[in-house]
Structure 1
Amino acid sequence: MKKIAIVMGGYTEESVISLKSGKVVYENLNRKEFLPYKIYIYRDQWILKDEKNHEYPINKHDFTVCLKQDQILKFDCVFNVIHGTPGEDGILQSYFHLLKIPYTGCNFHQSNITFNKKYCLTFLKEFGIDTAVSFFLNKNQPFCEKNIIKKVGLPCFVKPNRAGSSLGISKVYKKEDLLPSIEKAFKEDHEIIIESFLKGIEVSVGVISFNHQIKVLPITEIISRNDFFDFESKYGGGSQEITPARLLPNIERKIQKLAKKVCNILNLSGISRSEYILVKDTPFFLEINTIPGLSEESIFPKQLNIAGISLSDLFKQSIDYSIECSKKL
């Protein structure tokens, strides 16, 4: 049986979601084909926990574990479910690439581009993808609030450039609220993005891509009970998620076509979930997650369920594809 390291945790507040996603992967891997291990990655420690909650340190030099004297555990593949850094931004992907250990999801190049909102939006705009008007700001960089508002207007959104799960995001209605929102975002990242508000229908689109075969999952319409789709809305029941979304067939096809186009432009593999705002029948790209949540509260598993795709089958496909791709390197 193939030994699978399910890496979870991470360095951000998203770690609590990652642990839930990791539990889902662990429970749904077919034990006739795979032998899964739970690996917890935090800033201060990398450890394996067994069924009896015994902890074993990870050897970071080669990503092995000494379970007993002279018994070294090596993994056939890594199943990455870390949301945020270091699992979604290319850091771990680069590490496993250097060690020649297969890992699920897209490679380090794509991970780095997609996790950085500035890079991703700038790149996609070159291919004609509609996005909100935006303003980028580095920490300690002088700025003029009047010029920012002149460009993006009010209301607007202030976001950390490299963060997920809507952490550090604010919706700004008044000029006097802009600076506190910028300071809040800078607590999450030293780069931020300020975007114009797009009034329309928010949708989330799950995509599965293996060997350039792209399948778009049923689209989810998001109705947040809060001011926007924030962390509490995503994981605390503060939103209504309707799958399939209530869209006219021609609009649904337009969004599906756009999701495929984005996936092809970014050359993604594995699974992803992208967000759009539908403004007068035109979808505007917001962002993309290359390691979407897999917990019971998450959107992606619900889309899979409606599409008739089991988690077990998807996870097997992800692992098999990753191992096959590693042989070509």
Structure 2
Amino acid sequence: MKKNIAIIMGGYSSEADISIKSGNVVYDNLDKEKYTAYRVLISTEKWVALDADGTAYPIDKNNFSFLLQDASILFDCVFNAIHGAPGENGELLAYFNLINLKHTSASFYQMALTYNKRDTLCVVKAYGIQTATAVYLNKGAAIDLDTIIAKVGLPCFIKPNKAGSSFGISKVYSREAILPAIALAYKEDSEILIESFLKGIEVSVGVISYQGVTTVLPITEIVSENDFFDYDAKYNGKSKEITPARITKEQRKKVEEAAKNVYEILNLTGFSRSEFIFVNEEPYFLEINMVPGLTTQSILPQQALAAGISLADLFDNAIVSALQ
């Protein structure tokens, strides 16, 4: 008997449109002989299930079901394609846990932890994972520019603590540019990070649970035409994403080990994509994305294809793993 799958997409953050693109790719690539899939659009205004024609049906939040021709449609599993809140930060997953509905992401606590860049860095550093030097600020806190510059130097990066797709991130070269960059970051989140600039090769490492085994996918090298891998570089063709990365065998071994360690240290399941920069041949961990882009142009699907895993197999594996 076919399983009913809810592909949740949209969300409450600046990444909603990107999430919808990811969700539609999942919908198009799921095995129609094996699954009956519905796209479920989550927004602050409404939660609705969409049929194949795009007709919307309100979701009953008591059990995450909807009525279709007087029949109640219940789901066997949720495929999480929401970048940002409430899918990537654990909020929606805690709700699914309460109503005993399986989903393709890690547990709600792990998702909440990894969505918080500051907390993730604090945890992995305790296990010897190398990271940039950082200053953390909460909105309303005093800002001492001299202390910040003394600790992280210039240039530096200023970014929201809980945001994705490079929204609100600035690379700052001067003392005068720090306060405007902080104000921009606070538009996305009430907590921010100010990190030292790391010069070196940037790579993205996909780690997934595939057929029950923690698997490191072929590594992607990021070469941005812009000053850094910002929104424009990610989504408007202003970067080269080279898979496999042009790194040495020793570099590959080190970053594969570091990415797998991060995945296991944080007790993760499902998809992940970690970002690293090599400094003096050593990989420095930047952040981890637990709901990476899933379009055909996105990095993780590119890495899966390089490993011989089709999109259909990648998405099917996520659902099978969740159901088990």
Class of the TM-score when normalised by the shorter of the 2 chains:
over 0.9
TM-score scaled by length of structure 1:
0.96
CA distance in 2, matches of 1:42, 1:247: 41
CA contact 1:235–1:297 (8 Å) conserved in 2: no
TM-score scaled by length of structure 2:
0.98
Question: Tell me, which stretches of 5 or more residues in structure 1 are unaligned?
Answer: 325-329
Aligned to 1:109: 109
CA distance in 2, matches of 1:242, 1:210: 23
CA distance in 1, matches of 2:138, 2:274: 25
CA contact 2:65–2:72 (8 Å) conserved in 1: yes
CA distance in 1, matches of 2:248, 2:284: 17
Aligned-pair CA distance for 1:322: 0.8
The answer to whether residue 9 in structure 2 is matched with residue 47 in structure 1 is no
Aligned-pair CA distance for 1:211: 7.7
Aligned residues: 323
Q: Cα deviations across residues 99-135 of structure 1 (Å, max 9, x unaligned)? A: 1000001111110110000100001110011000000
Aligned to 1:150: 150
- Shift of the 30–211 alpha-carbon distance from structure 1 to 2, 3 Å rule, reads closer
Aligned to 1:12: 13
Q: Which amino acid aligns with 1:195?
A: E
CA distance in 1, matches of 2:227, 2:300: 23
Aligned to 1:216: 216
Q: Which amino acid aligns with 1:46?
A: W
The answer to whether residue 84 in structure 2 is matched with residue 84 in structure 1 is yes
Aligned to 2:195: 195
CA distance in 1, matches of 2:306, 2:210: 20
CA distance in 1, matches of 2:152, 2:137: 13
Aligned-pair CA distance for 1:210: 5.0
Q: Which amino acid aligns with 2:297?
A: E
Aligned-pair CA distance for 1:292: 0.6
CA distance in 2, matches of 1:113, 1:210: 22
Q: Cα deviations across residues 176-196 of structure 1 (Å, max 9, x unaligned)? A: 000000000000000000000
Aligned to 1:178: 178
CA distance in 1, matches of 2:295, 2:317: 19
Aligned-pair CA distance for 1:52: 2.1
Q: Cα deviations across residues 262-304 of structure 1 (Å, max 9, x unaligned)? A: 1110111111100000111000000000111011221111111
Aligned to 2:281: 281
Aligned-pair CA distance for 1:48: 1.0
Q: Which amino acid aligns with 1:309?
A: I
Matching of residues 126-141 of structure 1 within 5 Å: 126-141=126-141
Aligned-pair CA distance for 1:315: 1.4
CA distance in 2, matches of 1:270, 1:21: 16
Aligned to 2:312: 312
Percent of aligned pairs with the same amino acid:
52
CA distance in 2, matches of 1:286, 1:163: 14
Aligned to 1:27: 28
Report the aligned-residue RMSD: 1.0
CA distance in 2, matches of 1:25, 1:295: 8
